[in-house]
Structure 1
């Protein structure tokens, strides 16, 4: 696990979604050069991004680094109660792995990445 100081030096892809990551790294060639994220060309291509996992019923925010070979959890964060509640309401209380919403991104950027 990295410390908060270590995290500030990372380049975060704030627009990466779990769906985009699967397309890029697990289904090579499934996206075009004209897409928002350029196709993966080697195992040296990677993304660092956040996901919100709601499988336990309480949203857990995780920072991942993924390439075509591996997915590594770099850090995890507990969300403030209001953000967690709003996120679950926004997603209908469904279980899954989601991209963080704008409110969570703003909170992260203000509290951990400035």
Structure 2
């Protein structure tokens, strides 16, 4: 197992603006770019994830919380690819296969980023 798959320390609270506030605002801003109502749903879901994370970890997500966010993203991307592969196997929907391939590419790109950043 690489270091990138090992558990990280619990997040430490700081004075920084919670990261979800930026993400929710970015989703709300995207409505004005393409008009998709899905952006509103993402914003609502982001606010819910923020509350869930605060309850689970005792603090909201902040960029300076002591964790390696690229490693967190890599682990989540790997899991996401696996979930989309399972969804495609279960449903055989072409759209699930497309999303699986996008998720796998995202995991690839994050791993390439880690290789470039850390040299391993």
Provide the TM-score with structure 1 as the length reference.
Answer: 0.23
More strand by share: 1
Q: Which has the larger radius of gyration?
A: 2
